[in-house]
Amino acid sequence: MSESKQQSEYLLGVNERELARLQFQHAIWGPVTQSFLQRLGTTAGWRCLDVGAGPGLVTTDLRELVGESGEVIALDPSELYITWLEQQVARRNWSNVRCIQGTAEEAPLPRGHFDIVFVRWVIAFVPNPGKFLARLAATLKPGGILAIQDYYYEALSLYPHGGPCDEMASIVRAYYRSAGGDAYITAKVPGWFRNHGLTLTDFTPTCLCGGPDSDVFEWAYQFFSQHIPLMADRGLISRDKAEALLADWKDHRNNRDTLFFSPLVVDVAGTLPQ
Band (pLDDT 50/70/90 cuts) for residue 115 is very high
Q: What is the pLDDT of residue 17?
A: 76
Q: ∠ CA(23), CA(28), CA(32), 5° rounding?
A: 115
Question: How far, in Å, CA of 44 to CA of 65, rounded?
Answer: 6
The CATH number of the domain holding residue 100 is 3.40.50.150
Structure-model confidence comparison of residues 203 and 80, the more confident one: 203
Kind and range of the H or E run holding 195: helix 189-195
Residue 69, pLDDT above cutoff 70? yes
Band (pLDDT 50/70/90 cuts) for residue 216 is very high
* 73 domain residue, yes or no: yes
If one counts the domains in the chain, the total is 1
CB neighbour burial string for 248-266, b if at least 16 within 10 angstroms, e if fewer: bbeebbeeeebbbbbbbbb
Residue 10, pLDDT above cutoff 60? no
* 213 domain residue, yes or no: no
Task: Tell me what the mean pLDDT of segment 145-151 comes to.
Answer: 98
* 258 domain residue, yes or no: no
Domain that holds residue 77: 3-153+181-207+263-271
Q: How many CA atoms lie within 13 A of 38 on its CB side?
A: 8
Cut 0.75: pTM above it: yes
Q: Read off the amino acid at residue 182.
A: D
Answer yes or no: are the C-beta atoms of 174 and 236 closer than 8 Å. yes
Q: What is the pLDDT of residue 4?
A: 34
* 174 domain residue, yes or no: no
Answer yes or no: are the C-beta atoms of 82 and 76 closer than 8 Å. yes
Task: Tell me what the mean pLDDT of segment 30-41 comes to.
Answer: 98
